[in-house]
Amino acid sequence: MHVRAPALIPDHPSFQTAAVKWVRHWNEHLFSFAIERPASFRFRSGEFVMIGLPGEGDRPVMRAYSIASPAWAEELEFLSIKVPDGPLTARLQAVRPGDQIYLAKKPTGTLVCDALLGGSRLWLLSTGTGLAPFLSLVHDPEVYQRFGQVILVHGVRRVSDLAWRHALTAQLADDPLVRDQALLQLHYLPSVTREPFHTSGRITDLIADGRLFAHPVRGTAGFDPALDRVMLCGSTAMIRDAAALLEAAGLAEGSNANPGHYVLERAFVG
């Protein structure tokens, strides 16, 4: 067996170091990994944090990553694209268990329950690695207490980009904190745009032609500011176009200071 010493990195005054626990490659473009959670690290489900690796001189290369684990998890999971010559991901994709990475001390973000008013349907609309904060939220009991139905939509180019597609339901069924609520309240809707799949088309197409609202989703076939709350995370183009549809339906953007009908965050892109 080939044994490789873990890659250790120099201490940095602004960042803590944390060891990689596991890595899972979905395809040549996408991977998940988790690091140990430092005892002092606190966050709300849905937030993001800067992570990175040493760069030139003493300036690490840091990027914002949504945390895919719920707020009480013992590890911090992330979902990342692989960019062959990307300043961070070219090296990050090679990490192995035991290797260290940098982690900023303070997480932040708007894809949190606190930034939304209560409602009966919560739509989690993501493309690509924008799925990550929603993986955190669907494991959080608060989400099921505050919203009647939770609809998790993941739009991707290829079937193999559907990270956690098969494992998600099994993971939730094994999670004593949320399994009963998830079974009754959560609906997972993957959609693929560049390969054949049972659901195909962009999220904005599913909204426009009404497929987003089809059975088993309950309620009106359209967004209603009195009932619907939406979180958007993914590509800049998807967020722009989906937010325009939400605004046209009368939904207003919220923030931590001013909770509203929908919130958004761009996923890390390179």
Q: Which positions touch ligand A2P (CB under 6 A)? A: 127-128, 155-157, 193-194, 202-204, 235, 237-238, 241
The residue assigned the tokens 């991707």 is 156
Contact 67, 43 (CB under 8 A): yes
Closest to ligand A2P by CB, 32 or 100: 32
Q: Give the DSSP letter string of 199-244.
A: SBS-HHHHHHTSGGG-TTS-S-SS--TTTEEEEEEE-HHHHHHHHH
The minimum distance between CB 267 and ligand A2P, in angstroms, equals 8
The minimum distance between CB 131 and ligand A2P, in angstroms, equals 10
The minimum distance between CB 201 and ligand A2P, in angstroms, equals 8
Of residues 203, 239, 208, the one with CA closest to residue 221: 208
The residue assigned the tokens 């990553």 is 65
The minimum distance between CB 240 and ligand A2P, in angstroms, equals 7
Do β-strands 75-81 and 100-103 pair in parallel, antiparallel, or remain unpaired? unpaired
Q: Determine how many CB atoms are found less than 10 A away from the CB of residue 259.
A: 17
Q: Can you name the residues that pair with 22 across neighbouring β-strands?
A: 34
Closest to ligand A2P by CB, 157 or 218: 157
Contact 138, 83 (CB under 8 A): no
Closest to ligand A2P by CB, 47 or 161: 161
Closest to ligand A2P by CB, 109 or 155: 155
The minimum distance between CB 203 and ligand A2P, in angstroms, equals 5
Closest to ligand A2P by CB, 81 or 104: 81
CA atoms within 13 A on the CB side of 243: 18
Closest to ligand A2P by CB, 142 or 241: 241
The minimum distance between CB 157 and ligand A2P, in angstroms, equals 5
